[in-house]
Amino acid sequence: MQKLLIPTLLGLAMFAGSVNAAAPLRPPQGYFAPIEAFKTGDFKNDCDAMPAPYTGSLQFRSKYEGSDKARSTLNVQSEKAFRDSTADITKLEKDTSKRVMQFMRDGRPEQLECTLNWLTSWAKADALMSKDFNHTGKSMRKWALGSMASAYVRLKFSDSHPLANHQQESQIIEAWFNKLADQVVSDWDNLPLEKTNNHSYWAAWSVMATSVATNRRDLFDWAVKEYKVGVNQVDDQGFLPNELKRQQRALSYHNYALPPLSMIASFALVNGVDLRQENNSALKRLGDKVLAGVKDPEIFEQKNGKEQDMKDLKEDMKYAWLEPFCTLYTCAPDVIERKHGMQPFKTFRLGGDLTKVYDPTHEKGNKGS
């Protein structure tokens, strides 16, 4: 009897483990929200001409071209060249996010069809898959994937099931997302620590969003791995050494590291992986340091000797990370008050309206996009 029992228990344990591993990946609860209304009647269909699928080389000029190794001085001429050469990609990102938000609000089939047509066309063209790329090009690839996949997650998981009658398009789009994510992993995997900075966190966010959109546990695990590399760089005081190197933009880049890290931790938590305590709650330490620095930039000036450029940090949307962050940790009353004053947070690189996802009771007006 004893001999029979051991293999049986072992088999049960293995079975339990495989069932657990097979649990479908899911996003945080707010992504299951139904479509708010199904409007009928005339409306202005703003499905513009589709931007041409970008299949060329991903060799783009950097907006910091000619800058020293701190990469902190903007080159206006090369920034314009970068904006011009990536305009179609950015239009796809922004319009996908905007139209998904509109569709989730109004439920008009034309809005959904426009988005799916665009994504399907780019998928069929194998867009953004070029192996000829530089740093700016591979950066653009992961930003675009993160924007598209995180907006798509709202369609995929909504309790209204808007993709139910669009199985073929969904398969084509998700297969493309998977290919892009595999390439993003290849682009950003196992970088030396001194080269691992906010770009790696944004790459990990794009892969995390894709993992949930397509139920790829290997992608999920890679995003978690990169998250851990990121937050284990946060020092005892809450600084990121590689972002401190950005001289007058150090505070701005610390802030820029927070959206992808906060979103990854939020997506991981709902799938049973609690990253909040990693490196003694490093994400909380980083968030608190940035908020303190925004109040008193001298904190960063004293650390790296450079007066901080605060221009970017005057935009409410730069603090969209507070939505997931304040569900992961208990935010102080003054932080909550400030968050409420800046809402709603709408940012295309995180898939649209984060206030609707994380704090729907405070969604109001139509501020920002």
Residue with tokens 């809005």: 111
DSSP code at position 134:
-
Q: CB of 194 within 8 A of CB of 142?
A: no
Residue 138 to residue 149: CA distance in whole angstroms: 16
CA distance 292 to 28: 28
Hey, what are 279's tokens?
A: 């490196």
> DSSP letters of 239-305?
--HHHHTTGGGHHHHHHHHHHHHHHHHHHHHHTT---TTHHHHHHHHHHHHHHHHHH-THHHHHHHS
As given in the structure block, the two tokens for residue 226 are 């990169």
CA distance 215 to 88: 28
**DSSP state string for 326-360:** HHHS---HHHHHHHHHH---EEGGGTEEHHHHH-G
Binding residues: 62-63, 135-136, 253
Q: Could you tell me which residues are annotated as the binding site for substrate? A: 62-63, 135-136, 253
